[in-house]
Amino acid sequence: MNTKSILKINSSGRHDGSITRQVSDLVVDYLKGSNNSLEMIDRDVAAGLPFVNEAWINSNFTAADERTEDQNEVLSFSNKLVAELENADHIVIASPIYNFNIPATLKAWIDLIARAGLTFRYTENGPEGLLKNKKATVVMASGGVPIGSEMDMASNYLRLALGFVGISDVNIIDASAINYMENESLHSAETQIAALID
């Protein structure tokens, strides 16, 4: 796929020393290559996102042409997040594992972008994702839960959530396997990332 735009989503509560933030930067650098015209959108959810509440639910389930000005305002941030997804060819999600799953702020992002009629629709055969022809790379790290193990609910959940909105081409990178922070050369890290993505 010819990548023209990247949406990078960071969710680690740490900034200094965050493995997922640093490895996701390397992933983006690899995807960008020498393409200086590539559009880049940074979305850091670590500081917190609004949670879905009654006003949001009522606004979302009101037909678009019947929403009040207040309801449109309630949905405006969610609409912005959806537009970022729609405009991206490649989504890079950086997520630590907190207590066996993704951070609450990243879950809030998923709740805000899972919109019937916008990112998925109901058909006679069940839900169908509407965000087609996109690729996602998920960078994950955990202090105690091995990525891909029975205790790891996070990577399976992200695959399911992304697939639900139509992004089925999902690659999971175990950031603990990228050892550049332990005196590995940057070139070595980039080589590992290239092998994992391609």
Which pLDDT value is given to residue 93?
98
Q: Is the pLDDT of residue 2 over 70?
A: no
Summarize pLDDT for 105-114 with one digit per residue, the tens.
999 999 999 9
Per-residue pLDDT band for 42 (boundaries 50, 70, 90) equals very high
Domain count, the chain: 1
Mean pLDDT (the chain, rounded): 90
> 149 versus 47: which is more confidently predicted?
47
The answer to whether the predicted template modeling score (pTM) of the entire model surpasses 0.85 is yes
* Domain with 180 in it: 5-51+83-197
Q: What's the whole-number mean pLDDT along residues 111-124?
A: 96
Mean pLDDT along residues 84-90? 96
Q: Give, in order, the Cα–Cα distances in Å from 42 to each of 23, 26, 156.
A: 15, 14, 24
Task: Using alpha carbons, list the distances in angstroms from residue 92 to 8, 72, 187.
Answer: 5, 28, 20
Question: What CATH number does residue 119 fall under?
Answer: 3.40.50.360
| 44 in a structural domain | yes
Question: Quick one: tokens of 165?
Answer: 């909105």
Cβ pair 172, 155 in contact under 8 A: yes
Q: What angle do CA 186, 188, 189 make, to 5 degrees?
A: 65
For residue 90, give Cα distances in angstroms to 57, 61, 121, 188, 189: 29, 29, 22, 23, 20
- Residues 140-159 have a mean pLDDT of 88
Task: Tell me if 74 is assigned to some domain.
Answer: no
> Quick check: is 58 in a domain?
no
Mean pLDDT score, 123-132: 95
| pLDDT above 70: residue 181 | no
Looking at the chain, the whole-number percentage of residues with pLDDT higher than 90 is 70
Mean pLDDT, to the nearest integer, of 51-65?
A: 97
Structural domain contains residue 64: no
**Residue, of 173 and 114, whose pLDDT is higher:** 114
Whether residue 183 is contained in a domain is answered as yes
Q: What is the mean pLDDT of residues 1-25?
A: 90
pLDDT at residue 185 in the model: 47
Region 176-187: mean pLDDT is 57
User: Does pLDDT of 50 surpass 90?
Assistant: yes
pLDDT number for residue 189: 64
What are the φ and ψ backbone dihedral angles of 25, each rounded to 5 degrees? -65, -40
Determine the average pLDDT of the residues in 7-34.
91
